[in-house]
């Protein structure tokens, strides 16, 4: 009976992801090209925002992935704490820089979008502020990983930090809501059809989101493989020095 825990074996993980990676990567590039070209060149301009509305195709998927990357790290950290599978800890480590970059993309495209629309690059709006806090969490998480020499200790400490950080990230989200009313609009995407943006923008946006998700998966697979191989290389070198 095949189970997901088989992939806790690094060899099995590398073999499987090696086979999947080309497909995922190609699909990610295809979805991104189709989604962005469709979004940038074949959608009408918004009647109030003009062409600036097209930033949505980068901004929304990046913001979505920034949060989901942290969520994935949380799950991977839990798996590491409970079942102590090294691949899981390495996957969490591999996802952090990707998530941090997504956060930066969301913040930067948001600033570029905000300037013509709200007349300001930055506003202490709840959503913007909580993204900045999320970015700080990513920075702290990555810094802690790289500061500790022992791999297992680092994995343990960062996992606990990820758990505690998640609680405080949610707390900050509600705290900033309390603290300031925002300029940012509410959710424009939801399963509830009523709240969505108009279909002409919605369909290319969905393709872009799929592209970002595939891109994230591909990058995390690739980076996890790299981590596994780097660790193996270190083990081999250490063994050579001993023998």
Sites of contact with other proteins (CB under 8 A): 133, 136-137, 139-140, 143-144, 147-148, 153, 156-157, 160-161, 163-165, 168-169, 171-172, 174-176, 178-179
Taking the complex as a whole, the smallest distance from the CB of residue 113 to other proteins amounts, in Å, to 24
Closer by beta carbon to other proteins, 145 or else 212: 145
| Crossing angle of the two packed helices 56-83 and 10-41, in degrees rounded to 10 | 170
Taking the complex as a whole, the smallest distance from the CB of residue 219 to other proteins amounts, in Å, to 24
Taking the complex as a whole, the smallest distance from the CB of residue 226 to other proteins amounts, in Å, to 24
Distance (Å, whole) CA 139 – CA 133: 10
Closer by beta carbon to other proteins, 153 or else 190: 153
Taking the complex as a whole, the smallest distance from the CB of residue 102 to other proteins amounts, in Å, to 17
From residue 22, alpha-carbon distances to 32, 94, 211, 219, 229 in Å are 15, 18, 14, 11, 18
Closer by beta carbon to other proteins, 63 or else 169: 169
Distance (Å, whole) CA 186 – CA 179: 17
Q: Would you give the DSSP letter of residue 197?
A: P
Place of tokens 């920075």: 139
């Amino acid at each position: 009976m095949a189970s997901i825990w088989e992939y806790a074996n690094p060899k099995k993980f590398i073999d499987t992801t090696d086979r999947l990676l080309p497909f995922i990567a190609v699909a990610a590039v295809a979805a991104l090209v189709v989604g962005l070209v469709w979004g940038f060149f074949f959608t009408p301009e918004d009647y109030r925002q003009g062409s600036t509305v097209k930033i949505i195709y980068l901004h929304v998927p990046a913001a979505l992935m920034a949060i989901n990357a942290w969520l994935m790290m949380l799950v991977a950290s839990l798996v590491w704490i409970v079942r102590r599978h090294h691949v899981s800890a390495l996957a969490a480590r591999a996802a952090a820089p990707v998530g941090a970059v997504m956060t930066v993309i969301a913040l930067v495209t948001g600033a570029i979008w905000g300037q013509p629309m709200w007349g300001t690059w930055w506003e202490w709006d709840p959503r913007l502020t909580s993204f900045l806090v999320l970015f700080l969490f990513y920075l702290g998480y990555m810094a802690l990983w790289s500061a500790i020499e022992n791999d297992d200790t680092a994995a343990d400490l960062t996992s606990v930090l990820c758990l505690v950080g998640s609680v405080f990230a949610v707390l900050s989200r509600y705290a900033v809501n309390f603290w300031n009313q925002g300029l940012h609009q509410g959710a424009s995407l939801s399963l509830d059809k009523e709240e969505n943006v108009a279909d002409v923008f919605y369909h290319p946006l969905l393709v872009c989101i799929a592209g970002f998700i595939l891109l994230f998966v591909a990058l995390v697979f690739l980076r996890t493989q790299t981590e596994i191989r780097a660790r193996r290389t270190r083990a081999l070198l250490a063994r050579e020095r001993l023998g």
